[in-house]
Amino acid sequence: MSWPRDLSRNGFCVYSVVEMKTDGLFYRLFQTFPRLFFDLVGHNAEQGQAYSFTSIEIKQMAFRLDGVFLPPATEPNWPIFFVEVQFQRDAAFYSRFFAELFLYLRQYQPRHPWQAVVLYPTRALDPGLHPHYQALLISPQVQRVYLDEWAAPRQTLLQRVIGTVLAPPEEVGREARMVVTHLRQGLVDRASATTILEIVETILAYKLRGLSRKEIADMLEFPETELKQTTFYQEAFTEGKTEGRQEGRQEGEATLILRLLQRRCGPLPVALSERVMQLSLPHLESLGDALLEFHTSADIEEWFAKQV
């Protein structure tokens, strides 16, 4: 296949499994490949093409359900799917999740039935059957999916993409090469291949920070001459990130974060952009963790008010 030139038009930020907020990454995957979600829950994947994936605010409650698959209005018997990606240990998770879910049902009064799906990287992060929610957790309306089990063995392309997300830094290169090898078979359309390569490059760039162009090209077995032409790579490894110069690293990190913010939130006011460029490296790392939750420049302003 002919490799796409621009792998970054919908840029987003991911980190190692231990550190990163992976919900934004999965929501991006679900928007692009709704089949992935419906494969995960064992639902009709073709039917899934008719759903719309969105986030919904619970008005006056300061809650937002970030992952909601809404069925078409013409199919009142199809369920609404509430999706939560949970990659951190949280003993109080189910109390928050079900509170938000039932607040949504009370406020919006949908006529569709509902199902809840929680995605864990492993069983170890599942808090288990809480006595307050045991009846819900064992009901057919609630499904818990353990991604490491679902993605083993690595057979389909989407299983291999999930494998890259789950892999620790020492194994992510091998997992990424499996994805690239699958894409080289030419079984995926150009637009989907572009999105998948974008995701894989992003994961590598953030899980293995500091790699040179040649090292990433060698890891992916991807021609360095083509890798250099991708917009994402050029932005992620700007000249400002000169090794050994603290000022250069700060400038390069700020430039990358600013570009990612602009892709998520649109053009930013000049004053806000300048504030981002002036952040210290620790604050830039904190902003990089948070930006997956942003939708508008107001979200960035709110972060500044709380963090800086």
Compute mean pLDDT per 10 residues along the chain, 308 residues long, and list them: 33 34 75 86 86 76 76 92 91 91 91 95 92 93 95 89 89 88 79 77 74 69 52 44 50 77 79 87 80 80 80
Does residue 196 sit within a domain?
no
What domain range is 305 assigned to? 244-308
Cβ atoms of 41 and 145 closer than 8 Å: yes
Residues 166 and 151: their CA atoms lie apart, in Å, by 10
**pLDDT value of position 249:** 63
Does residue 105 sit within a domain?
yes
Does residue 272 sit within a domain?
yes
Does residue 114 sit within a domain?
yes
State which H helix or E strand residue 30 sits in. helix 23-32
Does residue 120 sit within a domain?
yes
Q: For the whole model, what pTM was predicted?
A: 0.66
Residues 248 and 152: their CA atoms lie apart, in Å, by 42
| 142 and 249 assigned to the same domain | no
Residues 87 and 125: their CA atoms lie apart, in Å, by 7
**pLDDT value of position 229:** 46
**Which of these three, 150, 174, 196, is where a domain ends?**
150
**Which of these three, 117, 150, 183, is where a domain ends?**
150
Does residue 302 sit within a domain?
yes
Residue 74 token pair: 């013409």
| 145 and 253 assigned to the same domain | no
Q: Is the peptide bond before 131 cis (omega within 30 degrees of 0)?
A: no
**Which of these three, 127, 150, 173, is where a domain ends?**
150
Cβ atoms of 273 and 255 closer than 8 Å: no
What is the tally of structural domains in the chain? 2
Closest to 141 measured CA to CA, from 115, 118, 119, 105: 115
Strand partners, 117: 83, 143
Q: Virtual CA dihedral for 264, 265, 270, 274, nearest 10 degrees? A: -50
